[in-house]
Amino acid sequence: MPDTPHAPRVATAPVNWNNDDVPDIRPHLPYPALLREMREAGYTATEFGSALPVDPAVTGPALAREGLTMVSAFCAVPLRAPDALERHGERLDGVARLLHALGSDLILLSDAIQAERSAWAGRAFGVGAPRLDDRARSVFVANVHDVCRRMAKIGLRVAFHHHAATYVEAPDEVRWLLDETDPDLLGLCLDTGHLTYGGGDATWFARTYASRVRHVHLKDVDRAKLETARAQGWSFEQALRAYLFPPLGEGMVDFAGVLGALADAGYGGWLVVEQDTQEGSGLDAARRNRRFLAERFGL
């Protein structure tokens, strides 16, 4: 378990307002208003997002004005590519330096979304889904370890974010990556929504890999829409536009089980609330989801 003996803390993320995967789904909210609405919704911490300035001399004071702490940032890299670090290393370094300047010590690494896997989103465990072969898996693991060592030089830990439409989505893929990587280098960003969407049991992963969990994204999944998505072969983008991820507590994720497993393991890191797309305003959704955690779990 990470060295976090205190109770878990709740944060938000810009994706609840501005989603880079479907940027046209609602009007873009500029960062001053974005940070203000985070505070108004009851949050005191956030992850980084593309709407925020990359200059810590600008972002730091903007966060401070709203009483917000920076907790992490999501970075996607095509990790099966042998030249992934040659092409994306400087970008990773830039994000890491920004996070370090803002007081965060954790970066979230993910495989990049791939079109051929997006077409299989939510069904990547099925027969016929494109998968990594042994050679690509070897390159993938080597790249992950290289990223971890690179980030450590800047003072950051790394947690891997399994993600829909990437080559680490299905539960066996998540298990493979965790089992093949050094636990001293790589932790897990457990995303309850992406894991459920991908066919996994979030409670089982929270309990089985508790020692690897360094960060948590809390997201729900609409059971009926998931069944439709699989039956009709929706892409990841189609699922987002159909609002696959409902308000917390209105879907199929067992939050009591997940949070119970994390509590049993002494998890004291961040719980980041995410509802990637929704009908209505981001502020209303953020308030509703924050209220769910406070009223249901006292968080």
C-alpha torsion sign, points 123, 110, 36, 267? positive
Torsion of CA 14, 73, 187, 158, to 10 degrees: 180
d(CA 243, CA 79) in angstroms, rounded, equals 28
Q: Mind listing the pLDDT tens digit of every residue in the chain (299 residues)?
A: 344 457 899 999 999 999 999 999 999 999 999 999 999 999 999 999 999 999 999 999 999 999 999 999 999 999 999 999 999 999 999 999 999 999 999 999 999 999 999 999 999 999 999 999 999 999 999 999 999 999 999 999 999 999 999 999 999 999 999 999 999 999 999 999 999 999 999 999 999 999 999 999 999 999 999 999 999 999 999 999 999 999 999 999 999 999 999 999 999 999 999 999 999 899 999 999 999 999 999 99
Residue 106 structure tokens: 């954790």
pTM passes above 0.85: yes
Mark out the alpha helices in the chain (DSSP H runs): 31-40, 56-65, 84-101, 115-118, 134-152, 171-180, 192-197, 202-208, 223-232, 236-241, 255-264, 282-297
Phi-psi region of 179 (alpha: psi -120 to 50; beta: other; left: phi over 0): alpha
Domain ranges in the chain are 9-297
The per-residue pLDDT for 7 is 83
In CATH, 9-297 is 3.20.20.150: yes
Taking the CB of residue 287, how many other CB atoms lie within 10 A of it? 16
By the 8 A CB rule, do 214 and 269 touch? yes
Distance CA 299, CA 269 (A): 13
Phi, psi of 238 (to 5 degrees): -60, -40
Tokens 């990773």, located at residue:
92
DSSP letter at 132? -
CB-based contact 170:197 (threshold 8 Å)? no
pLDDT attached to residue 5 = 52
